[in-house]
């Protein structure tokens, strides 16, 4: 009975839209916070182990937050069953370790505005992965047209209208950010798959914790180090942990009870929030107001809306 009530609640359109908007607001602030964090924690962005260590600290804390919150809600310690570990370790690899090693290093080599728009690639990759690899839904003309529009937007922002091999595009920045969104797409579909039989909050908390510990271990073994330089480091890292704890947990719940497309229609808010927050926190106003950036943002938003207005398969 409780499961039925929960399912009905999480499938209501206003709940989906408001919850997804909250997630996108959190995600939109991620890239600017990472850039600020590099400065406050004395992270040498040319030192990959230090970047990985910084990311690992965030996700270890995020995992502890989710596990603690889930345990309070369930009135019992949220511990994985033996059968849960396959999903936890798969998601830890895809959603935390691979995605964020790529993402954190990409953010270090491009602007917050660009990061926010490129990150929207995840929406279109999610549709492709859902259709061709997991068979969760069927391809349609609207999804094809929307995906083309979105990719044109991403292509425009990384090239500023120049050739793909031109100065604005680098594999160390924009290139690996695109690869990180591909990992994110597989992770999103994997969440839907594993949460059919597992508690998505448990999966989210433990995969963050395990993935974060793995990244911290890799960073320390590689000689990475952090040098906090201000009292603001503590609230910043806690907020960054909450970004992941809150956004991915609620997004996972939405994916559990809805089709991938119904949830990802709200993803158009992610690049919008990201561009605005990057302009405010990082002072990237000139880039945010650039004609290519605005055109790219419109194409990405239009693409996401078109993709997700596709009629449901009968």
Say how far apart CA 26 and CA 8 lie, in whole Å. Answer: 25
Q: How far is the C-alpha of 224 from the C-alpha of 309, rounded, in Å?
A: 45
Instruction: Give 2-58 pLDDT, tens digit per residue.
Output: 544 455 688 887 888 889 889 989 988 988 999 999 999 999 988 999 999 999 999
Nearest to 277 by CA among 26, 22, 20, 17: 26
Give the tens place of pLDDT for each residue, 157-199: 766 655 444 446 777 788 898 899 888 888 878 877 887 788 8
Cα first-last separation, the chain: 28
Percentage helix, strand, coil for the chain under 3-state DSSP, each rounded to 5? 80, 0, 20
Distance, CA of 234 to CA of 228 (rounded, Å): 9
pTM for the model stands at 0.78
Q: Contact at 8 Å (CB) between 260 and 188?
A: yes
| Dihedral over Cα of 31, 35, 36, 42: its sign | positive
CA–CA separation, 286 and 294 (whole Å)? 11
Report the alpha-carbon distance of residue 132 to residue 7 in Å, rounded: 26
Do 122 and 185 touch, CB atoms closer than 8 A? yes
């Amino acid at each position: 009975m409780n499961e039925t009530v929960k399912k009905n609640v999480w499938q209501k359109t206003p709940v989906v839209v408001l919850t997804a908007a909250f997630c996108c607001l959190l995600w939109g602030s991620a890239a600017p916070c990472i850039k600020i964090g590099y400065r406050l924690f004395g992270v040498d962005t040319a030192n990959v182990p230090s970047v990985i260590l910084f990311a690992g600290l965030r996700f270890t804390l995020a995992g502890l937050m989710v596990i603690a919150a889930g345990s309070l809600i369930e009135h019992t310690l949220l511990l994985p069953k033996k059968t849960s570990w396959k999903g936890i370790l798969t998601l830890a690899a895809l959603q935390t370790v691979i995605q964020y090693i790529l993402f954190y290093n990409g953010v270090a080599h491009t602007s917050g505005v660009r990061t926010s728009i490129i990150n929207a690639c995840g929406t279109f990759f999610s549709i492709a992965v859902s259709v061709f690899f997991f068979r969760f839904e069927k391809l349609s003309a609207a999804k094809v047209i929307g995906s083309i529009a979105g990719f044109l937007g991403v292509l425009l922002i990384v090239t500023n209208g120049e050739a793909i091999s031109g100065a604005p595009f680098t594999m160390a920045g924009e290139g690996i950010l695109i690869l990180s969104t591909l990992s994110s797409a597989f992770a999103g579909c994997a969440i839907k798959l594993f949460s059919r039989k597992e508690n998505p909050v448990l999966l989210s908390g433990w995969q963050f914790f395990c993935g974060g510990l793995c990244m911290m271990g890799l960073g320390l073994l590689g000689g990475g180090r952090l040098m906090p330089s201000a009292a603001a480091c503590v609230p910043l890292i806690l907020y960054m942990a909450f970004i992941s704890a809150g956004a991915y947990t609620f997004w996972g719940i939405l994916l559990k009870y809805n089709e991938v497309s119904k949830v990802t229609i709200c993803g158009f808010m992610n690049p919008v929030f990201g561009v605005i927050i990057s302009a405010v926190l990082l002072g990237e106003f000139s880039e945010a107001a650039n004609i290519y950036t605005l055109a790219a943002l419109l194409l990405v938003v239009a693409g996401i809306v078109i993709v997700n207005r596709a009629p449901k398969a009968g």
